[in-house]
Amino acid sequence: MELKNVQLAETHQKSGAKMVPFAGYNMPVRYSSDKEEHNTVREAVGIFDVSHMGEFLISGPSALALVQKVTSNDASKLSVGKAQYSYLPNVDGGIVDDLLVYQIKEEQYMLVVNASNIDKDWNWITKYNEDIGADMRNISDQFSLFAVQGPRATETLQKLTSVNLSEVKFYTFEVGDFAGVDHVILSATGYTGAGGFEIYLHNKDAEHIWNEVLKAGEEFGIKPIGLGARDTLRMEMGYCLYGNDIDDTTSPLEAGLGWVTKFTKDFINKENLEKQKEAGATKKLISFKMEDRGIPRQGYDLLNADNQVIGKVTSGTMSPTLGIGIGLGYVEIEYAHPGTDIFVSVRNKSLKAKVSKLPLIK
């Protein structure tokens, strides 16, 4: 399958980005080093091009009914200017995708989905819309999305908009002027734990806005940041990545997504998930820090003190902030409590780790 390009692929290449295939797109994985880019976001400000993400507009009198049917969270609690994290349950107890739901207008919602799942999600939602009849538009190819993250993000972006960014609280957004462009969505949902905003804009404005943000952040040492650092940043926070920590076969309740599973409304596979909740999970997604030297990687076995396999690593890395190996993985429920000692099987050695509370950094 031919790789798709984001609008600014050439700009990234000219900036020296290493481009790699990711979720069907040619994407910048790093510009300098993952560690340097990671630290830039934690300490100052960085800009990510995440335009590979998908956007669907669901509109009309039946829009809420469709969103309620296909997502786990209660979208009736949204109002214009608010967003929520949610997931699309499948009929087998797993997860089609995790996503963000934005209420744009009274009868209009924007669903922001993972790049690798755009077609799958679209087909899934379309199937359930046959009986509901909402207006659906896939606008993924018309929009770019930049994430400006870090403690200096607000100061950087405030230069470019009349929207008071300090009033845009977590999981809310404003539609306003930005860098001389009207009707830009400025959203505070974040995937790094470093604070900041996402900017949704038309492709035609992408180069102009990218350059303006880089200019505005120059005094704070802003840098373009690749997907490599995005991965280490989200792991320090314990945020799931679809395809690693959650997928079609993982239970949302075992993945710790009970907080966005609202049994007060009707949605796909609600009954089975209710039964699963009553029965109690047999395993759980945990985060851990290495106590021995070593880097956990996806697929490595997790062991107890008797060397018995109790689970698997789903995501692992060297934390640039902590300087130690960290990871996420599923373990049998009795080993899921923070403070529990577990072991990671790395090249036939059992390396000690400790189940840790999130986030993994202060």
3-state SS, residue 92:
coil
Q: How far is it, in rounded angstroms, from Cα 287 to Cα 245?
A: 11
Q: Looking at residue 362, what is its pLDDT?
A: 87
| pLDDT beneath 70: ranges in the chain | none
CA distance 150 to 43: 7
CA dist list (Å): 350 to 294, 301, 304, 308, 354: 10, 9, 9, 11, 13
Q: Per CATH, is 4-53+142-237 categorized as 3.30.1360.120?
A: yes
- Quick one: which of 113, 362, 361 has its CA closest to 232? 361
The whole model's pTM is what? Answer: 0.97
pLDDT of residue 148: 98
User: In the structure encoding, which two tokens stand for residue 356, read together?
Assistant: 């840790």
Strand partners, 57: 110, 137
* Confidence (pLDDT) at 341: 98
Check if 4-53+142-237 and 282-356 are the same fold: no
Question: Which H or E element spans position 349?
Answer: strand 349-356
Distance CA 4, CA 141 (A): 10
Q: What is the pLDDT of residue 48?
A: 98
| Confidence (pLDDT) at 78 | 98
CA distances from 182 to 47, 187, 288 (A): 20, 15, 44
Give me the residue spans of the domains in the chain: 4-53+142-237, 282-356
Give the sign of the dihedral formed by CA 174, CA 178, CA 183, CA 188: negative
pLDDT at 1: 76
Contact partners, residue 10, CB within 8 Å, separation at least 6: none
Question: What are the b/e assignments for 215-224, b being 16+ CB within 10 Å?
Answer: ebbeebebbb
Is the previous residue joined to 89 through a cis bond, with omega within 30 degrees of 0?
A: no
CATH architecture of 282-356: Beta Barrel (2.40)
